[in-house]
Amino acid sequence: MLNIDCLHSAYIRGANILKNLSFHIKPGELVAVMGRNGMGKTTLVKTIIGLMPYLSGDIRFLEEKILGRKSYEISNLGVAYVPQGREIFKDFTVEQNLLLGVLGKKKKVSDFDLAYQHFPILAERRKQLAGTMSGGQQQQLAIARAIIGKPKLLLLDEPSEGIQPNIVHEIAATLKQISATESLTILLIEQNLELVTRLVDRVDFIENGQIVHSVDVKIIHEDPELVARFMSV
């Protein structure tokens, strides 16, 4: 589904962040990329969605080249993105935020029932200003806004940030259910081991802008030192 080959990406030419990175996800896979701060995790998802400049390489989604295309074009192909910090519109209602999930799309496919079914708190508060909700509820709104257009691939950047553990567990269970029922492939950027082990099937570790190790998530439970090797400062 997503194939990245020999990708080089940088904010400033000559200061590469991603260095000859290759990475592949099959349809329906749930994959996490983990690593220390500054290793290139956020740069990876921003480059996929077209928000970061690239130097060279190739990114293909469903066999179609997307590297260098505009973000809205990539979104229209079926890639959704939930950025770090959520970036919901606090002065808009829940319903208005959800509508933004299909704004500008060629095919106005929207499924409010899907969003409200998986996140019932949003249905209860559809007329409430998003800025008055808790951090966990805002994160649910950000995810619902991303899935309302029925994407094929969901990119999540640190969705557990600033959220209580019980809500993190709920979000993991909900995402797993959505993936199963909607055939949604997920790429998760995350530091929270609890969310990773509850949600994904595979963990890829990034170091100095390259994917250096890939394991089944079950190995994480069996070998805790593995995580320390790639995550400790």
Q: pLDDT tens-digit profile of 189-225? A: 999 999 999 999 999 999 999 999 999 999 988 887 8
Domains along the chain with CATH numbers: 2-231 (3.40.50.300)
pLDDT digits (tens, 9 = 90+) for 12-56: 665 678 999 999 999 999 999 999 998 999 999 999 999 988 889
Q: How many CB atoms lie within 10 A of CB 30?
A: 21
Question: What SS3 class is residue 20?
Answer: strand
pTM reported for the whole predicted model: 0.93
**Rounded Cα distance, 83 and 226, in Å:** 27
